[in-house]
Amino acid sequence: MRIGIFGGTFNPPHLGHRHIVEDFHRQMAAAGLPLDKILIIPTYVPPHKAAPDLASGEDRLLMCNLQLENGPFEVSDIEVRRQGASYTWMTLDELHEQYDEVEPETGEKTPAELYFLMGDDMLLYLPNWKRPEKILEDAILVSTIRSHECSVEELKDFAKTHYPDQYEAGRFLFFESEPFPVSSTEVRALVKEAAGIRAADGSSTKVTQHERQIAKAKLETLLDPKVLAYILERELYQ
Ligand code: DND
């Protein structure tokens, strides 16, 4: 079985996430490696960064479901259920346990082929992850660019320099993608602004009605309408 994995804090999930994962789906098929399914895995607690305004695991699971509820995508609660820091090597271990096929008579194992998707920032941060070598044994890492500040060539050079053996062994894949530059941090700041709160100092006095409308209009271009409605209804990030 060939499984794509898209892990993230998804606080909240935005259209940049949808863009990269839909491209991943298409490009893997075009490369002759069609994926049987793609697991979208929100972290419980991201292992690598402080997460201000972290919405609950349940809220983030729900928002991922609202954004990617069709087709080959399946939102998985594996990390939210496990709790604690969501280390990727642990998740890959669990996924192999779940999806590797064992021949009942001989006990022979056919490991699931796992492809872990990430944006450029995450690939460049890989040496700081826990057990990157183990991760590269258990999954092939597939990456692309988030903005024109980085190129696929730079990503290849980085992987070749830091993980030469794994690079030669084909444990990295890359694809070209038209960037959709947005971040969850930017989205949370806009949600605050749309609610009349100045993100930088938390003050509610200085945001004009006009600025609030502009922030709301910008949000409509960055979020799935169902995710935006959910955030506003639940008053997340305010
Ligand atoms: P983020 O916090 O960056 O997620 O976490 C990404 C994944 O890496 C999670 O599964 C983490 O558990 C795992 N990780 C990170 C560091 C250390 C370890 C594990 C460890 O085990 O030690 P975000 O929600 O911010 O973003 C999710 C993904 O979407 C990322 O790969 C990011 O690069 C990508 N992305 C975009 N891609 C294209 N265009 C955009 C994007 N915005 C985010 N606009």
Residues 32-51 have pLDDT tens digits of 999 999 999 999 999 988 88
pLDDT over 60 (residue 1) = yes
Quote the ligand 1 centre to 120 CA distance (angstroms).
9
Alpha-carbon dihedral 16, 22, 27, 29, rounded to 10 degrees = 170
Strand partners for 114: 3
Which residue in 180, 138, 176 sits closest to 156, CA to CA? 176
Which residue in 216, 213, 129, 219 sits closest to 182, CA to CA? 219
pLDDT over 90 (residue 71) = no
The pLDDT of residue 29 is 97
Domain shared by 45 and 153, yes or no: yes
Domain shared by 114 and 208, yes or no: no
pLDDT cut 70: percent of the chain above it: 97
Q: Which of 48, 114, 141, 142 to mutate to test the pocket of ligand 1 (most atoms within 8 A of CB)?
A: 48
Look at the chain and report how many structural domains it folds into.
2
User: What residue ranges line ligand 1, CB within 6 angstroms?
Assistant: 7-10, 16-17, 20, 43, 46-48, 86-88, 118-119, 121-122, 129-130, 146, 180-184
Please report which confidence band the pLDDT of residue 199 belongs to, taking 50, 70 and 90 as the band edges. low
For the segment 212-236, the average pLDDT, to the nearest whole number, is 97
Domain shared by 155 and 188, yes or no: no
Please state the atom number of ligand 1 nearest to the C-alpha of residue 51: 2
The pLDDT of residue 51 is 84
Please state the atom number of ligand 1 nearest to the C-alpha of residue 13: 24
pLDDT over 90 (residue 160) = yes
pLDDT over 60 (residue 204) = no
Domain shared by 11 and 77, yes or no: yes
Domain shared by 119 and 207, yes or no: no
Quote the ligand 1 centre to 86 CA distance (angstroms).
12
Domain that holds residue 192: 184-234
pLDDT over 90 (residue 197) = no
Q: Which of 122, 175, 182, 186 to mutate to test the pocket of ligand 1 (most atoms within 8 A of CB)?
A: 122
Q: How far is CA 16 from CA 22, 38, 91, in A?
A: 10, 16, 23
Sheet containing strand 73-75, edge to edge, reads 73-75, 37-42, 2-8, 113-119, 140-144, 172-174
Among protein residues, the one whose CA lies closest to atom 35 of ligand 1: 119
Domain shared by 21 and 118, yes or no: yes
Among protein residues, the one whose CA lies closest to atom 37 of ligand 1: 119
Which residue in 223, 169, 165 sits closest to 194, CA to CA? 223
Domain shared by 151 and 209, yes or no: no
Domain shared by 130 and 188, yes or no: no
Q: How far, in Å, CA of 221 to CA of 34, rounded?
A: 30
The pLDDT of residue 203 is 60
Domain shared by 125 and 10, yes or no: yes
For the segment 217-235, the average pLDDT, to the nearest whole number, is 97
Show the CA angle centred on residue 87, arms to residues 86 and 90, nearest 5°: 110
> Which residue type does 96 have?
H
Please report which confidence band the pLDDT of residue 217 belongs to, taking 50, 70 and 90 as the band edges. very high
pLDDT over 80 (residue 200) = no
Domain shared by 118 and 201, yes or no: no
Domain shared by 144 and 230, yes or no: no
User: Mean pLDDT, the chain, as a whole number?
Assistant: 94
Long-range contacts from 167-172, C-beta under 8 angstroms, 24+ separation: 170/140, 171/136, 171/137, 171/140, 171/141, 172/140, 172/141, 172/142, 172/143
Domain shared by 49 and 121, yes or no: yes
For the segment 176-204, the average pLDDT, to the nearest whole number, is 86
Q: State whether residue 1 is helix, strand or coil.
A: coil
The pLDDT of residue 50 is 83
Please state the atom number of ligand 1 nearest to the C-alpha of residue 90: 21
pLDDT cut 90: percent of the chain above it: 87
Among protein residues, the one whose CA lies closest to atom 9 of ligand 1: 8
The pLDDT of residue 205 is 63
